[in-house]
Chains A and B, each alone.
Chain A
Amino acid sequence: MAQDENTAGIRWSSVASGLLSAAVVFGGLTWAAGPLAPELIQHDEAVPYRENAQGVREVSFAERLANRKPEVVILGSSVTACAIDPELLQERSGREVLDLTIAGGMSASWYLLTKNVIAKGAPKPKLVILGFRDVYLTVPDFRVEGRYKAMLDRYVDGPEPVLDRRAYLAKLGTAEYLLRRHWAPFQRRDVIRDRAEALAKTGLPSILLGRSEDQLRESVERVFAEENKMHPEVNSAEEKALASDLDRHFDFDEVLPKSFLPEIIKVAKENGIQLALVRMRPRRNAEPLERQLKYPSFFRELLPEYERKLDNYLEQQGVMLFDFTDDERIPLEWYARDDHLDFDFGRRGFTEILSEEMSATLKALD
């Protein structure tokens, strides 16, 4: 670097004091963050099981499983919850059916539930029906941060190397990985951020409104409830990011080994649980052709190849697939918002179709 007479104007004492001050502040803040933990991902943020406004305590999935001892369990997100009516399926099949769908749940939660809840049931369910759509079965890092992490942490049982690697560590860049490995403030950033935000979120309202933390949380959840949103599917930053680079998830051969799907199948097989995947019909497929053309082109160009490879893989693995992607029996009128069916008639209609399609499987469970 060219250097000239201007260095004469530098006061080296100022430089030294500046560097010393920066080092002291940096060191002090690093020390304040606490010791470095050996695990890179902490799972200590689980949402507690709370009582609702009527004083009824939330029941954990493990408890529900132990109480009901179902033969059939349903896994999936709110799309599945809006498509399969467990009571109607139970009535049609004569099997005890338990709904373990989670609003916002995605492949990481399906993996944890299969491994830590369903496989540990006594007795174990005979059949797991897992509802999914498009490529979400093989996107391991989707909906695993923030409130989704707190939800996932509920189902963590001891060290979770597969979860940590596929949902969190795989997406870290080198710099992020090194910082997480060697610098405590970065390792504990989620906790630090949560504490700071909790203080800001609840401090002022508590003082001004005299309301408890739980009351405030419930108020905020009511105001920002999904049904109050204009486009619930693309609101969170994580979902916007997914939507913006969804095309990289269509290379099935590339994404499969990084996903939770092989693990879910493995756990089911090891525990003698039959797995039935149900591919939901996305709303766009029920829309008129000219509307379908408005959706991103990768749904038309890349998704069919992905689905073909997924189908082959499931066949090789001996996993049943019930595919409703192009099922004309599910009309546009059944949809309420986005890919969600109407919770009343849409759900009833789809469950009737599903019961019919799965009748042989459900009968053969004995």
Chain B
Amino acid sequence: MIFTSPAFFVLFAVVFPLYWAVRDRRIQNGLLLVSSYVFYGWVHPWFCILLASSTIVDFFCGLAMGERPPGGSPGGGSEEGPTGGASQVPRWRRRRKVWLSISLAFNLGVLGTFKYFDFFAQSFASVARSFGLELGWTELNLFLPVGLSFYTFQSLSYTIDIYRGQLRPRRSFLDFAVFVSFFPQLVAGPIERASRFLPQVESRRTWDWRAVFPALQLICGGYLKKIVVADNVGPYVDEVFALQSPTLLMLAVASFGFAVQIYADFSAYTDIARGLARLIGFDLVLNFRSPYLAISPSDFWRRWHISFSSWIRDYLYIPLGGSKHGGPLRFLWTLLASLGLSGLWHGAAWHFVLWGVYHAMVVFVYHQLGMGGRWRPRGMIRTTSAWAVMFGITLLGWLIFRTEDLGWLVDAALRFKVGISVDNRSAALYLLGLIGLYSVPLWLLGAVERLPERWVAVRSGFMAAAVVCMLVFGRSEPADFIYFQF
């Protein structure tokens, strides 16, 4: 089920009043769990088996890791630390490691099987073929369940945090299952941390009229971005990527279009998810903070898909050493591993890996030039120049991300020539005009969001205009959210 499908509106229209009609938190959670599974299994009910398996495995791994250490304090959280039975502590630690390994192996095994097996099998067979070996690989041809990458990471954060002693294991299966399957953010994030979200699941929610208007604004803005901006810009971007041999100018325009499309599409999902969550008393993490205003690659990753980039930072980049340990080569390796895997997370294809590696290289170069971390240039001209360079770097990255054939991109680059035909100039401006037209709501929305909260009349008027725009400019068959495929 997707947010733009009629079935979703019916589901939410049923769940929403029921949810607030009951005051008991456990019944509310039960209702959330059922509706989340209906939402997730609507088209392919077997998806729910994977979701439930992941939930069960991580719940019990969490409980097992939280068992009291020999002579330890009750409550099971390792944050309290073992306090006795010193001779048995190493065994206890080993056992925790085993449970964490089970959780990691199961989650990453499922992800690897469904998402990456065929990709690596094909890549391996292709390498073998180049050495004259014909391998009789059997591809699994499995259908990738939507949201698998998202809830796997979310669920893993729970077991890893328990292992690290940063989180207390939960004893309520229902609460934990709601955390893993919470339908507003289940299939495309934001990726919530257990430490932030579980306390919300465990606390009593009360209806608050004051939360309704901001929630409706988020939902309305999200639909506006998706229906009017992303779904209208997308087909024009596709036109360029369907050309056999586009010029660099056309690629530059298409890349700009894709930048608009992917931001509008993905942030739309986040906004709708956050708005829906607010309507039922939850606060989801902010996922985007004007990413195209970034002035450096580190700044970009603090603004783009924040819940994912912070996950990679906390569970991969820092454990691998971050920027503080070792020399430049160690730092480069850490970046390549973290961002290369980030790229692979987006999809089982080499261009995604290359996109991650490209960003790793860019972060490394900036860092070596003394422009890493929280670097900020002084003065308007330097800041603007830094922004322009970073925006160009981002656009080139999107080109790698969007292309399905790296050879096609390389061919286009090799065909570069100085003169541009009038046909290509006209077509590029034609596309730019259309992208500009459908980007207008994005800029207006940004402006309205910056208005004072008390300007309710202006905000309401904008929402009404947004609804009219969606009905007039919306396509009959809305496209899937881009991040569903990840």
Contacts and interface: CB of A to CB of B under 8 A. Distances in A.
Nearest to A13: B456
Contacts, number: 153
Contacts of A23: 464
Contact of A21 (B206, B423, B457, B468): B457
B456 A17 contact: yes
Contact of B21 (A2, A25, A201): A2
B460 A18 contact: yes
A227 to B, nearest CB: 9
Interface string A62-75: 00000000000000
Interface stretch (B47-55, B69-77, B433-441): B433-441
A219 B422 contact: yes
Interface in A291-335: none
A228 interface: yes
B464 A185 contact: no
B423 A219 contact: yes
Contact of B465 (A7, A25, A171): A25
Contact of A9 (B20, B207, B209, B461): B209
Q: Is the interface of A mostly helix, strand, loop or mixed?
A: helix
A341 B208 CA distance: 66
Interface in B203-223: 206-210, 213
B243 A229 contact: yes
A49 interface: no
B81 interface: no
Interface residues of A, number: 60
Contacts of A17: 456-457, 460
Nearest to A245: B477
Given A14-B456, A17-B457, A189-B473, A205 B6 contact: no
Contact of A215 (B209, B426, B479): B426
A176 B464 CA distance: 18
Contact of B471 (A6, A7, A22, A189): A189
Interface stretch (A148-156, A192-200, A248-256, A269-277): A192-200
A196 B439 CA distance: 13
B476 interface: yes
B449 to A, nearest CB: 16
A94 B465 CA distance: 63
A6 B383 CA distance: 44
B468 A29 contact: yes
Interface residues of B, number: 52
Interface in B426-485: 426-427, 429-430, 432-434, 436-437, 454, 456-465, 467-468, 471-473, 475-477, 479
A136 interface: no
Interface string B9-23: 000000001001101
Interface string B327-350: 000000000000000000000000
B456 A18 contact: yes
Contacts of A185: 468, 471-472
A10 interface: yes
Interface stretch (A124-132, A230-238, A260-268): A230-238
Contacts of A289: none
Interface in A1-48: 1-4, 6-7, 9-10, 14-15, 17-26, 29-30
A14 B437 contact: no
Interface stretch (B234-242, B260-268, B388-396): B234-242
B138 interface: no
A211 interface: yes
B473 A223 contact: no
Nearest to B458: A21
B424 interface: yes
A237 B230 CA distance: 14
B473 A193 contact: yes
B448 to A, nearest CB: 12
B244 interface: yes
Nearest to A176: B476
A26 B430 contact: no
Contacts of A14: 454, 456
A229 B244 contact: yes
A21 B461 contact: yes
B210 A201 contact: no
A10 B459 CA distance: 16
Nearest to B250: A223
A209 B437 contact: no
Q: Which of B422, B426, B475 has the most CB of A within 10 A?
A: B426
Contacts of B6: 173, 175
Interface of A: 1-4, 6-7, 9-10, 14-15, 17-26, 29-30, 171, 173, 175-176, 179, 183, 185-186, 189, 192-193, 196-197, 199-205, 208-209, 211, 215-216, 219-220, 222-224, 228-231, 235-237, 241
10 contacts: A4-B206, A6-B207, A183-B471, A197-B434, A200-B433, A219-B422, A219-B426, A223-B424, A224-B239, A235-B242
Interface of B: 6, 17, 20-21, 23, 206-210, 213, 235, 238-239, 242-245, 250, 422-427, 429-430, 432-434, 436-437, 454, 456-465, 467-468, 471-473, 475-477, 479
